[in-house]
Amino acid sequence: MRLRPLRIAALALLFPLVGCGSTTDDDGGRRETSPTSSGRQSAPAKAKAKAKEVPRPGDQTVTMTWKGQERVYTVHAPPGYTPSKPLPLVVVMHPYPADGAYAARLTGFDAKADEEGFLVAYPNGVNQGYNALVCCGSEDDVGFIGAMTKRLVDTWKADPQRLYATGISNGADMSFRLAVELPGTLAAIAPVSGGYIGTAAQNPAYVPKTPVSVATFVGGRDAYYEQFEQGIKSWSARLGCRSGRPETVKGANTRTRATCRDTSEILTYRLPDMGHNWPGSKDPRMGEAATGITATDLIWDFFDAHSKK
């Protein structure tokens, strides 16, 4: 699927703003990447920790070397955490331009982890972006996040049967890429205001080889609404999914559930009054508190109901 001319023109205007540190809606610099940068991951490389991690409750920022470059992620563990009890892991990915600290503020996943008892990891993209499906950069972020996840399983004893990924915009696109390119790793993903789009997604064979369930949130006022809609339809068709009837969820919002041939599920929330935002967040930049639903709560409920099959 190609980017619409209107979107390309808008991106050309927004690129200078990003360069000046603008905090307009994420992905002001979304752009098509080359087949090399948006294709499948390169051969695995060894990851080396820069600083020794000490699994414990609270927050911990870790720097590791991946393919000769320093990469950073932050781990949040709930009160009472101990490595002797495996916990689910949720990887939360930021928009562009931003970082893991912003993703934590926007989504409120730390508080949810403390309430429900799971680990959260916030990986930082290079230059504030991930090499996802249409943006940003050419780093091996699939390999980096895969290595980070493995390290959290090995060191923090995250439950390998309950590994999940979510994010907004550039981070949402990245969750789709991880679902396809880290086979056997994730049980479910939850892209918010992002989609299965771009050059790689045009290939009918670009689908998960193992079941990965999806909960996605799409705003009716999002400039990219049609592209995200087409993306979830393509994902559904390629996996042989059968959709039920839309259910009303708080006002005009709807939720549609589909069951797929590979036993995965798709849950699509359509919010007609929302733009390019995170539902239920009060963050002034990308939050949307007036949607009537809270994405973080619904995402965790979905993840909690889906273990690896």
Write out pLDDT tens, residues 229-283: 999 999 999 999 999 999 999 999 999 999 999 999 999 999 999 999 999 999 9
The confidence score (pLDDT) of residue 48 equals 56
The confidence score (pLDDT) of residue 309 equals 75
What does DSSP say about strands 242-243 and 254-259: parallel, antiparallel, or unpaired? antiparallel
Residue 29 has pLDDT above 70, yes or no: no
Residue 215 has pLDDT above 90, yes or no: yes
Which candidate, 108, 22, 156, places its Cα nearest to that of 295?
108
What is d(CA 137, CA 126) in angstroms, rounded to the nearest whole number? 8
Write out pLDDT tens, residues 147-167: 999 999 999 999 999 999 999
Mean pLDDT of 77-81: 97
Mean pLDDT of 103-118: 98
What does DSSP say about strands 69-77 and 58-66: parallel, antiparallel, or unpaired? antiparallel
Buried b / exposed e over 3-26, threshold 16 CB at 10 Å, is beeebeeebeebeeebeeeeeebb
What is d(CA 142, CA 27) in angstroms, rounded to the nearest whole number? 19
CATH numbers and ranges of domains, the chain: 5-38+53-304 (3.40.50.1820)
User: In sequence order, what are the beta bridge partners of 278?
Assistant: 287
User: In sequence order, what are the beta bridge partners of 77?
Assistant: 58
What is the dihedral angle through the alpha carbons of 69, 212, 253, 251, rounded to the nearest 10 degrees? -110
The confidence score (pLDDT) of residue 138 equals 94
The confidence score (pLDDT) of residue 295 equals 98
Which tokens is 68 given?
Answer: 């000769």
Q: Is 111 left (phi over 0), alpha (psi -120 to 50) or beta?
A: alpha
Mean pLDDT of 295-301: 98
What does DSSP say about strands 69-77 and 119-123: parallel, antiparallel, or unpaired? antiparallel
